[in-house]
């Protein structure tokens, strides 16, 4: 992200978009034009979101535009550029819709509003970006474009297109484009009250709290353009299998926050490697850098306590339930941690924090 930059965000008033825009605006002093189909004059929920974003020091505007309408998109962008006195530095494409529907019950009226923002919307935005040399295009897509899942045919098709088209833009059209294929953003947007979240986590899709998602976004946007898979658990059997079965034309890179350590590299039968990039610096409590001194001290105490308790060395990316700690032992562990750290350890933290490092950081705050 460019400090003080100018960005168009489609779907920017949505569940993932609004907190992301707030965090990027505060961090980079960047200016944002959000677009969505709804009209704030008629939608009280949208007015609440926009007034939450409108704090002094931020420049966040909103226009009612459907991403399928290329002319309206260009008009809105040009109007903001005139006000800002310069061209867009980039577009973040988050507009999308999701509905669970068995494929046998699909009909065009339901299918198209789900698929089109990811297809027609992205084609329109690619043209808009190409008219602005140097601007970048970032699409938020979904792992559901790759992992077969019931009831998600239209959504999966749209996201698979978004990833494939991004590869094309990078390879053939010279556009600086990323497609971030996300797992789950915990409790946000299309994942709010998702009855299938636990099942997805079981398969190896991480459910990322917003602050980890924001950090991972910043980390990934510093990587070379292309498709990046964000929020997979490389230890889950299905993910492991898929990565080791990668075909010769694919190169998978899976990014996971809070899993520091050596990168895992899988080699398929054709000798192509698939890499798990553990984001070393992806401490939820820190920005782009390493742990703060207080977090490091908490982590060291937690590491020592856990090692004594389990009788084996633990790693920052370890998960409590994978260490075989039973629910009775959890009570004992909680007491030991409270004694060692001198802070209350909420029961919920032991279940909610994905990794031991996350737990340490959450206890520091």
Ligand X SMILES: NC(=O)c1ccc[n+]([C@@H]2O[C@H](COP(=O)([O-])OP(=O)(O)OC[C@H]3O[C@@H](n4cnc5c(N)ncnc54)[C@H](OP(=O)(O)O)[C@@H]3O)[C@@H](O)[C@H]2O)c1
* Three-class SS of 218-274: HHHCCCCCEEEEECECCCCHHHHHHHHCCCCCCCCEEEEECCCCCCEEEECCCCCEE
Which residue, 62 or 299, is less far from ligand X as judged by CB?
Answer: 62
String of contacts with ligand X for each residue 278-317, x by CB under 6 A:
----------------------------------------
DSSP-derived secondary structure letter, 196: T
Which residue, 143 or 277, is less far from ligand X as judged by CB?
Answer: 143
90 belongs to the binding site for ligand X (CB under 6 A): no
36 belongs to the binding site for ligand X (CB under 6 A): yes
Among 27, 37, 99, 130, indicate the residue that binds ligand X (CB under 6 A): 37
CB of 15 to ligand X, least distance (A): 3
Among 38, 58, 235, 336, indicate the residue that binds ligand X (CB under 6 A): 38
Q: Which of residues 128-147 bind ligand X (CB under 6 A)?
A: 140, 142
3-state secondary structure of 79: helix
Task: Give the other-Cβ count within 10 Å of 89's Cβ.
Answer: 18
Which residue, 121 or 257, is less far from ligand X as judged by CB?
Answer: 121
CB of 146 to ligand X, least distance (A): 11
Spatial separation of the C-alpha atoms in residues 200 and 202, rounded to whole Å: 5
For residue 286 the two structure tokens come to: 């820190």
256 belongs to the binding site for ligand X (CB under 6 A): no
Among 8-16, 55-63, 145-153, 296-304, the segment contacting ligand X (CB under 6 A): 8-16
96 belongs to the binding site for ligand X (CB under 6 A): yes
Three-point CA angle 188, 2, 160, nearest 5°: 45
For residue 63 the two structure tokens come to: 């226009």
179 belongs to the binding site for ligand X (CB under 6 A): no
Task: Give the other-Cβ count within 10 Å of 12's Cβ.
Answer: 27
Among 5, 15, 204, 257, indicate the residue that binds ligand X (CB under 6 A): 15
204 belongs to the binding site for ligand X (CB under 6 A): no
Which residue, 179 or 364, is less far from ligand X as judged by CB?
Answer: 179
Among 50, 67, 129, 175, indicate the residue that binds ligand X (CB under 6 A): 67
Among 166-174, 189-197, 279-287, 317-325, the segment contacting ligand X (CB under 6 A): 189-197
Three-point CA angle 196, 201, 205, nearest 5°: 110
Among 167-175, 187-195, 215-223, 339-347, the segment contacting ligand X (CB under 6 A): 187-195
184 belongs to the binding site for ligand X (CB under 6 A): yes
Residue 150 neighbours by CB under 8 Å, 6+ apart = 102
Three-point CA angle 73, 76, 78, nearest 5°: 105
Residue 326 neighbours by CB under 8 Å, 6+ apart = none
17 belongs to the binding site for ligand X (CB under 6 A): yes
Spatial separation of the C-alpha atoms in residues 303 and 297, rounded to whole Å: 10
Spatial separation of the C-alpha atoms in residues 250 and 274, rounded to whole Å: 8
- Residues at the interface with ligand X (CB under 6 A): 10-11, 13-17, 35-38, 66-68, 94-97, 117, 121, 140, 142, 182, 184-185, 188-191
């Amino acid at each position: 992200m460019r400090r003080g930059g100018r960005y168009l965000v489609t779907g920017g008033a949505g569940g993932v978009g609004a907190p992301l825009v707030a965090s990027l605006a505060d961090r980079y002093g960047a200016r944002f034009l959000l677009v969505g189909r709804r009209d704030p004059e008629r939608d009280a929920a949208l007015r609440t979101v926009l007034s939450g974003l409108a704090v002094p020091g931020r420049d966040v505007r909103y226009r009612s535009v459907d991403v399928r309408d290329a002319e309206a998109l260009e008009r809105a962008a040009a109007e903001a550029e005139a006000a800002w006195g310069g061209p867009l530095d980039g577009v973040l494409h988050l507009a999308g819709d999701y509905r669970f529907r068995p494929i046998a019950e699909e009909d065009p009226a339901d299918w198209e509003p789900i698929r089109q923002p990811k297809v027609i919307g992205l084609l329109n935005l690619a043209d808009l970006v190409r008219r602005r040399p140097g601007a970048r295009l970032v699409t938020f897509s979904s792992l559901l474009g790759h992992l077969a899942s019931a009831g998600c045919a239209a959504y999966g098709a749209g996201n698979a297109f978004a990833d494939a088209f991004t590869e094309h833009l990078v390879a053939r059209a010279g556009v600086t484009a990323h497609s971030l294929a996300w797992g789950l953003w915990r409790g946000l947007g299309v994942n709010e009250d998702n009855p299938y979240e636990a099942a997805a986590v079981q398969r190896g899709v991480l459910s990322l709290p917003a602050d980890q998602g924001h950090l991972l976004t910043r980390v990934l946007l510093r990587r070379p353009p292309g498709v990046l898979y964000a929020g997979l658990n490389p230890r889950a059997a299905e993910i492991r299998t898929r990565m080791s079965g990668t075909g010769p034309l694919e190169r998978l890179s899976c990014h996971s926050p809070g899993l520091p350590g050596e990168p895992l590299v899988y080699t398929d039968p054709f000798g192509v490697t698939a890499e798990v990039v553990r984001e070393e610096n992806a401490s939820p409590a820190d920005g782009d850098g390493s742990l703060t001194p207080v977090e490091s001290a908490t982590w060291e105490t937690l590491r020592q306590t856990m090692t004594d308790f389990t009788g084996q060395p633990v790693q920052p990316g370890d998960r409590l339930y994978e260490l075989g700690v039973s629910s009775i032992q959890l009570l004992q562990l909680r007491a030991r941690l409270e004694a060692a750290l001198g802070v209350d350890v909420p029961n919920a933290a032991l279940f909610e924090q994905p990794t031991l490092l996350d737990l340490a950081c959450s206890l520091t705050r």
